[in-house]
Chain A
Amino acid sequence: MPLPSLPATSQHFHRPRFPRNAWYAAAWDAELKHALFPRTVANQKLVLYRRENGEPVALEDACWHRLLPLSLGRLEGDTVVCGYHGLKFDCHGRCTFMPSQETINPAAAVRSFPAVERHRFIWVWPGDPALADPDLIPDLHPNHDPRWAGDGKTIHAKCDFRLIVDNLMDLTHETYVHSSSIGNEAVAEAPFEVHHSDREVIVERWMLDIEPPPFWRAQLGKPGNVDRWQIIHFQPPCTVAIDVGVAPAGTGAPQGDRRQGVSMWVINTITPETDKTCHYYWANVRDYRIHEQRVTTEIREAITNVFREDEIIVEAQQRAIDENPDKIFYNLNIDAGAVLARRLIDRMVDAEQGEARIAAE
């Protein structure tokens, strides 16, 4: 008699950690120049560059001939010249020159990947190019909007990107990890609500009439208690945009009137590099004192220090996971957002199962 198949609830092992059919941030806009820029995205080694007209290009970072990384070669106009035998590849990855022969092998090409610049990031699509619809790029427009000001950085974290998603989907940890800056008891005590759809998870937390932590006291620049909000928007597989801020208590922020307060978007998109490393792109943009570069710099540096505290945690967590291969996570009530986020990631992965072989070719 055949064995019954396992119920769906038991099938979460050995699934790829991330989908290939997704847009991933591969660089900041200012990082990418008319120069070869190697970057690994979703286990795919890429060489990126800007064409002379500024458009981004992403090619497989291995010469068709002898697999030398093309990023060790050079650019000649919009053409990549391999640093070993001089084979040339155009911006679509097609070979345009081979040494010592009069024709070019018609199959000679390296894979080219859809690449789009939007919201200050260069996005690439490692999966099936036929599915690469730019409308699927996460909406992070405050990162490139004159009504908002700010900046960000990249963290190379030695952990599964989902540990950072988990971290951002539950801000209770602010109380314990960031107690000197943005965390206080109020965060851990306030109730939260979780909503989800097929394409988004939202975790919303309001802390009413509380004493603000030091960072927010300084941003608001007013005495007294505040109403504080944290509204976390997750877009699978790896983007978390968090609407945060404070307003003087009782001035109507929970009802939608934030005029007395200060708002900020904490933008996070965490690109898996390999199964256990990631490029974590983050930015903070605010709607107050937007013409003051000093504020931009101060906040960026303050957040750099805050996120350094998270980095220590998630990397230590990854090491602990590796040391305990037979253990899995226990989820608490506070993990609802993370659990739902991981479910949306897994759903994307399941939807493309079987395509891994195409990608691997």
Chain B
Amino acid sequence: MRSEKQWTTATVTGIHPAAEDIRLFELEPEGGATPYKLGSHIDVALMVEGRSILRSYSVVGSAPVAGAWRIAVRRVGDSRGGSRAMWGLKHGDALRITRPRSHFELGFGRPEYVLVAGGIGITPILGMADALNRTKHRFRLLYAGRRRRQMAFLTELEHLLGDRLQVFCSEEGSRIDLAGEIARLHREGEMYVCGPVQMMEAARELWRASGRAPTSLRFETFGSSGHLPLQPFTAKLQDHGIELHVSREQSLLEALQNAGIEIAYDCLRGECGLCQVTVLSHEGPVDHRDVFLSEVQKHSSHKLCACVSRGTGTITIDTGFRRELRGVLPRTPGGR
């Protein structure tokens, strides 16, 4: 069941460096932070260039610390504006956030677990490792990053997990052998993955190939990671006969909404598929960042999830609007 977002005001009570380009923020809500489910995230409302935007961040750790929920934010040059706004916050600033909700819950009682984290994807995984350790489950954490100094929480994880932690650095030339890890995992075991879209796709592909139960591969997406760098593009709306500019900082869905185009949507993270539009033609590749469309569907690029996925150059789409609809029930000739 999904719960409604509950907004609250929080104060920034601490900002700590967690790694190069990663800051840990302590957010104390009114009345103090309450416990939350593993895999939870909070949504933060931020002002970017005069517009209010929403960003989702996983809550760090398995419980609040000093009355605060903690999130870790990486400063990315290739940002839609969220990380820059977060990095602009100062101690004592107030902001609107939602109470933690989890779409990435840990299931207990399995015979073995493999947790896989890529870069800042460590944030939801940290609390899971802590909980599995406390409840004496059999598990390992595979943590990959570009450089060690950019990998948050390494020291505390080494201390907590010992040799159950394996670190992989592309700078040092080490990579996670996902296929081997899946092959070694207990038949009833589960894998939890959080990382860049390429890592998630590789995990899903290898998992599928292994013939394991699809539900035993757990992952979460915010749709924020893509195959191509963020870039502005142009969307031609064949049905409305207009052309829209989609800036780096906004999604296609946001651009459509700003232009007053009616379009169904719900999850805003590329999961539900409600905001899919028909792609009539595309100049460059389509950067599919959703998890709704299948690989075959993405390959054909007949559809695109407007909340997260992007075009290159100019893309021509159809949102399903028709100035005049023929009656749903066609009139029978000669009938009443």
Q: Which residues of A contact B (CB under 8 A)?
A: 60, 62, 64, 67, 90, 92-96, 101-107, 109-112, 114, 129-130, 132, 354-355, 357-358, 360-361
Query: Can you list 25 residue pairs at the A/B interface with Cβ under 8 Å?
Result: A62-B1, A64-B2, A67-B1, A92-B215, A94-B215, A96-B215, A101-B273, A103-B294, A104-B214, A105-B267, A105-B291, A106-B104, A106-B220, A107-B2, A107-B104, A114-B108, A114-B109, A130-B108, A130-B134, A130-B135, A132-B108, A354-B34, A357-B36, A358-B37, A361-B102
Pair A105/B107 contact, Cβ less than 8 Å: no
B297 at the interface (CB under 8 A from A): yes
Q: Is B221 an interface residue (CB 8 A)?
A: yes
Contact of A106 among B34, B101, B271 (CB under 8 A): B271
Q: Is the CB of B37 within 8 A of A103?
A: no
Q: Does B105 contact A (CB under 8 A)?
A: yes
Per-position 1/0 for B1-26, Cβ under 8 A of A:
11100000000000000000000000
| Nearest residue, chain B, Cβ from A107 | B103
| B219: Cβ under 8 A from any A Cβ | yes
Q: A107-B103, A357-B34 are in contact. Are A129 and B108 (CB under 8 A)?
A: yes
Taken together as a complex, chains A and B put the C-alpha atoms of A357 and B221 apart, in Å, by 24
Question: In the complex, given contacts A111-B1, A132-B108, what are 19 additional A-B residue pairs having Cβ atoms less than 8 angstroms apart?
Answer: A64-B2, A67-B1, A92-B107, A92-B215, A101-B273, A102-B294, A103-B292, A103-B294, A106-B104, A106-B219, A106-B220, A107-B220, A112-B107, A129-B109, A130-B38, A358-B35, A358-B37, A360-B3, A361-B37
Given contacts A67-B1, A102-B293, A103-B292, contact A95 B34 (CB under 8 A): no
Query: Contacts of B105 on A, CB cut-off 8 Å?
Result: 109, 111
Q: How far does the alpha carbon of A107 sit from the alpha carbon of B135 in the complex, in Å?
A: 24
How far does the alpha carbon of A167 sit from the alpha carbon of B172 in the complex, in Å?
69
Contact B293 A103 (CB under 8 A): yes
Tell whether A95 pairs with B215 under 8 Å between CB atoms, given A102-B293, A107-B220.
Answer: yes
B35→A102 contact, CB < 8 A = no
Contact B131 A105 (CB under 8 A): no
Across-interface contacts of A105 in B (CB, < 8 A): 267, 271-272, 291-292
In the complex, which residues of chain B have a beta carbon less than 8 angstroms from the beta carbon of A358?
34-37
B296 interface residue, CB < 8 Å from A? yes
Q: Are A106 and B221 in contact (CB under 8 A)?
A: yes
Interface contacts (Cβ under 8 Å), in number, total: 76
Query: Ordered nearest first, which 6 A-B pairs have the shortest CB separation?
Result: A107-B103, A94-B215, A102-B294, A105-B271, A357-B34, A129-B108
Contact present for A361 and B35 (CB under 8 Å): no
- Best-surrounded residue of A64, A96, A106, A129 (most CB of chain B within 10 A): A106
Smallest Cβ distance from A137 to chain B, in angstroms? 15
**B74 sits at the interface (CB 8 A):** no
B301 to chain A, nearest CB (A): 14
- Residues on B with C-beta less than 8 A from A110 are 1
Residues of B within 8 A of A132 (CB): 108
Question: With a CB–CB cut-off of 8 A, which chain A residues contact B108?
Answer: 114, 129-130, 132
* C-alpha gap A60/B296 in the complex (Å): 34
CB neighbours (8 Å) of B84 from chain A are none
Residues of B contacting A111 in the complex (Cβ-Cβ under 8 angstroms): 1, 105
**In the complex, which residues of chain A have a beta carbon less than 8 angstroms from the beta carbon of B34?**
354-355, 357-358
Q: How far, in angstroms, from A130 to B271 measured CA to CA in the complex?
A: 28
Residues of chain B contacted by A355 (CB below 8 angstroms) = 34-35
Q: Is B236 an interface residue (CB 8 A)?
A: no
Asked whether, in the complex, the Cβ of A357 is within 8 Å of the Cβ of B2, the reply is no
Complex Cα spacing A355 to B35, Å: 6
Chain B 262-277 interface 0/1 with A at a Cβ cutoff of 8 Å (1 = within): 0000010001110000
Q: Which of A60, A354, A358 has the most CB of B within 10 A?
A: A358
| Distance in Å: Cβ of B278 to nearest Cβ of chain A | 16
Report chain A residues within 8 Å CB of B215.
Answer: 90, 92, 94-96
Contacts of B214 in A (CB 8 A): 96, 104
Q: Tell me, yes or no, whether B70 is within 8 Å of chain A by CB.
A: no
Which residues of B sit under 8 angstroms from A94, Cβ to Cβ?
Answer: 107, 215
Chain B hits for A112, CB < 8 A: 107
Residue-wise, chain B 133-162 has the 8 Å CB interface mask toward A (1 for contact) of 011000000000000000000000000000
Contact A361 B3 (CB under 8 A): yes
List residues of B (87-117) whose CB comes within 8 Å of A's CBs. 99, 101-105, 107-109
Contact between A357 and B99, CB atoms less than 8 A apart: yes
Contacts of A106 in B (CB 8 A): 103-104, 218-221, 271, 291
CB distance from A44 to the nearest CB of B (A): 12
Q: Which residue of B lies closest to A110 (CB)?
A: B1
Minimum CB–CB distance for A101 against chain B, Å: 6
Looking at the complex, which one of B1, B131, B219 makes contact with A130 (CB distance below 8 Å)? B131
Bound Cα distance from A96 to B216, whole angstroms? 10
Task: Give chain B residues whose Cβ lies under 8 Å from the Cβ of A109.
Answer: 105
A350 to B273 Cα, complex, angstroms: 43
Closest to A131 in B: B135
Which of B171-223 touch A at CB < 8 Å? 213-215, 218-221
- The docked-state distance in angstroms from the alpha carbon of A60 to that of B267 is 22
Q: How far is the CA of A139 from the CA of B152 in the complex (A)?
A: 45
In angstroms, Cα B168 to Cα A116, docked, is 39
Taking the closest CB of chain B, its distance from the CB of A306, in whole angstroms, is 40
A237 CA to B99 CA, complexed, in Å: 30
Task: Please tell me which one of the listed residues A92, A107, A114, A357 contacts residue B35 in the complex, with CB atoms under 8 A apart.
Answer: A357
Chain A residues with Cβ below 8 Å from B272 are 105
- CA gap between A112 and B102 in the complex, in Å: 14
CB nearest neighbor in A for B108: A129
Within 8 A of A (CB), among B279-318: 291-294, 296-297
Which residue from chain A places its CB closest to the CB of B134 in the assembled complex?
Answer: A130
